Amino acid sequence: MAQRCADGRNGRSDGAPRRKFVSLLAPIAALLLGELAACTATPPDPSAGAARQLDSIRSDPTELETFLRAFPKGADLHNHLSGAIYAESFIRWAVADGLCINKKELALAKGPCRGNLLPAAAVRDDRRLYDALVAALSMKDFRPDGETGHDHFFATFDKFAAAEDDREGDMLAEALQQAARDHTVYLELMWSPGMPDARKLGKKVGWDPNLVELHTKIVRAGIDKIVTQVHAAMNQREARAHALLHCAERAKRQPGCDVTVRYLAQIIRVFPPVQVFAQDVLAFRLVETDPRFVGLNIVGPEDDPTSLRDYSLHMRMFSYLHHVDPQIPLSLHAGELVAGHRGGLRRVRAEDLRFHIREAIETAAARRIGHGVDIEHEDDWQQLMAEMAQRHILVEINLTSNAQILGVTGTAHPFMTYWAAGVPVALSTDDEGVERIDLTHEYVRATEEYHLSFKQLVTLSRNAVAYGFLPGANLWRDVDRFVPAEACADDDLGSAEPGTACAAFLAKSEKARLQWKLEGELARFEGAYQ
């Protein structure tokens, strides 16, 4: 059958997923000519028209953007909720909520608005102040003069933080709408609910190098109370987002309602060890108790002195908790570093580039890596890449983020090296609001910079859903070649009416259902160019 003919890695003409044409002919061919004939009778490639279209417009930025905006992009697996919001929204909420602007720091602040603090409403009559504030809260028009992209980028988060309070539901609604505009079926958002409380609890408990003891102390000190508070807060935030998007009203329902969203509990790593561990414990508990949380991640500048000093300790903390509950999936930021002065990261020693990705995978049991930019500085990196390929450790590629923060672009980026080594990759945004991009922008950027083929775009799109942490069996029996599960092997991928066995398979797996939805969208997209 068609799957046995598959020999490529990245696309349907490589023989993997079945289309109707094959389904109809295969039994006859098998009867008349045997299976060999089915293998040699190559069916028309349903993606050929879209591939031709891509090649005809790839040098026209406007046409390429239009083509790739409509292209179904699977998922965004690396997206920090606060970084996903554009500065204009934070300023709008600051005005509505009566916040202030620190004119000297160009930052939003809580009231009362006295001294250096102007009412945020002042931006209505002061265009220069508004523009300066947007530039301070994002990478808009950033020029490195006296400040690095890295420092400007990370400084934005404190500058808009005051506007986040009580607007989390609004932020979620914006992120969902953006995902819908990018034709994304799944969004895995990084979020830190309850983490400040976990850090306070950790501080109260105090450090104990025996992690078993420390874990017990943190649980006894009441981590589950924070878990309960987070559940309630998330209910409210999701309800607010659904109300803003009119998800319950047929006539006004917004496209963001149809994007499936899950969360990664986000641990901030720049705090003392006990506070990081308390966040880890909270993150594991959230994933264990709330199906909305499907995994966890560790964030914050990887080159921060505390992050560097405690890197191996953080990985050992994850290792301990992973052994307590091996079911909890981890995606870890690792290798978001560069050598020397590029991007202004002068704090990084060569020593710090040698082991972060390996420890994230081999010590902390990470299933995905965020960034992985410095891999070629790791000890025995070719072996590490081979191990990642063999173990199917996906790398979340954030091209614009890496350009803005690290100064790494083009061939200096290991994107194509990962690809050549067989390491699965997917494109993501990292912080689309701060960076002033979206997922479509990243597909355009990748297509232009790396001359990607249409089949490679399809691979990126499918990988993003296939490697998401949604529970359930994968639609792909062979995820490298996109060979479907036996139950769906005779079905037209993505069809509205899958056969009985396939329907039963899909009914049991939320992930496979989303993959099926994506296949339907890919087939429709390709169909428009046939």
**Which residues form the interface with Zn ion (CB under 5 A)?**
430
Least distance in angstroms from the C-beta of 478 to Zn ion: 30
Which lies closer to Zn ion via its Cβ, residue 287 or residue 369? Answer: 369
* CA distances from residue 502 to 230, 484, 493 in whole angstroms, order as listed: 37, 10, 10
Which lies closer to Zn ion via its Cβ, residue 72 or residue 343? Answer: 343
Least distance in angstroms from the C-beta of 396 to Zn ion: 8
Which lies closer to Zn ion via its Cβ, residue 76 or residue 430? Answer: 430
**Phi-psi category of residue 274: left, alpha or beta, with phi > 0 → left and psi -120 to 50 → alpha:** alpha
CA atoms within 13 A on the CB side of 331: 29
Which lies closer to Zn ion via its Cβ, residue 368 or residue 511? Answer: 368
Q: How far apart are CA 377 and CA 386, in angstroms?
A: 15
Q: How far apart are CA 111 and CA 98, in angstroms?
A: 8
Q: How far apart are CA 63 and CA 397, in angstroms?
A: 24
Least distance in angstroms from the C-beta of 100 to Zn ion: 29
Instruction: Using CA atoms of 222, 227, 233, 238 in order, give the dihedral in degrees to the nearest 10.
Output: 180
Least distance in angstroms from the C-beta of 288 to Zn ion: 24
Q: What sign for the dihedral angle of Cα 54, 55, 58, 60? A: negative
Least distance in angstroms from the C-beta of 190 to Zn ion: 7
Which lies closer to Zn ion via its Cβ, residue 430 or residue 492? Answer: 430
Which lies closer to Zn ion via its Cβ, residue 14 or residue 430? Answer: 430
Residue indicated by tokens 């061939």? 411
Q: Do 429 and 399 form a contact (C-beta atoms < 8 A)? A: no
Q: Do 263 and 191 form a contact (C-beta atoms < 8 A)? A: yes
Least distance in angstroms from the C-beta of 401 to Zn ion: 7
SS3 151: helix
Largest Cα–Cα distance in the chain? 88
Which lies closer to Zn ion via its Cβ, residue 197 or residue 430? Answer: 430
Instruction: Using CA atoms of 263, 269, 270, 274 in order, give the dihedral in degrees to the nearest 10.
Output: 110
Nearest Cα to Cα of residue 402 among 370, 367, 369? 370
Which lies closer to Zn ion via its Cβ, residue 280 or residue 519? Answer: 280
Length of the chain, please? 530
Secondary structure element (H or E) that encloses residue 409, with its range: none
Which lies closer to Zn ion via its Cβ, residue 188 or residue 430? Answer: 430
The residue of the chain with the least Cβ separation from Zn ion equals: 430
Nearest Cα to Cα of residue 78 among 476, 432, 488? 432
Least distance in angstroms from the C-beta of 298 to Zn ion: 10
CA atoms within 13 A on the CB side of 523: 15
Which lies closer to Zn ion via its Cβ, residue 167 or residue 368? Answer: 368
Least distance in angstroms from the C-beta of 528 to Zn ion: 34
Least distance in angstroms from the C-beta of 263 to Zn ion: 14
Q: How far apart are CA 15 and CA 453, in angstroms?
A: 17
Which lies closer to Zn ion via its Cβ, residue 240 or residue 368? Answer: 368
Q: Do 154 and 344 form a contact (C-beta atoms < 8 A)? A: no
Residues 6 or more apart in contact with residue 236 via CB below 8 angstroms: 169
Least distance in angstroms from the C-beta of 150 to Zn ion: 13
Q: What sign for the dihedral angle of Cα 195, 200, 204, 210? A: positive
Least distance in angstroms from the C-beta of 487 to Zn ion: 36
Least distance in angstroms from the C-beta of 257 to Zn ion: 26
**Cα-flanking dihedrals φ and ψ of residue 79, to 5°?**
-150, 110
Which lies closer to Zn ion via its Cβ, residue 205 or residue 434? Answer: 434
Report the chain's terminal Cα–Cα distance, integer Å: 25
Q: What sign for the dihedral angle of Cα 439, 443, 445, 449? A: positive
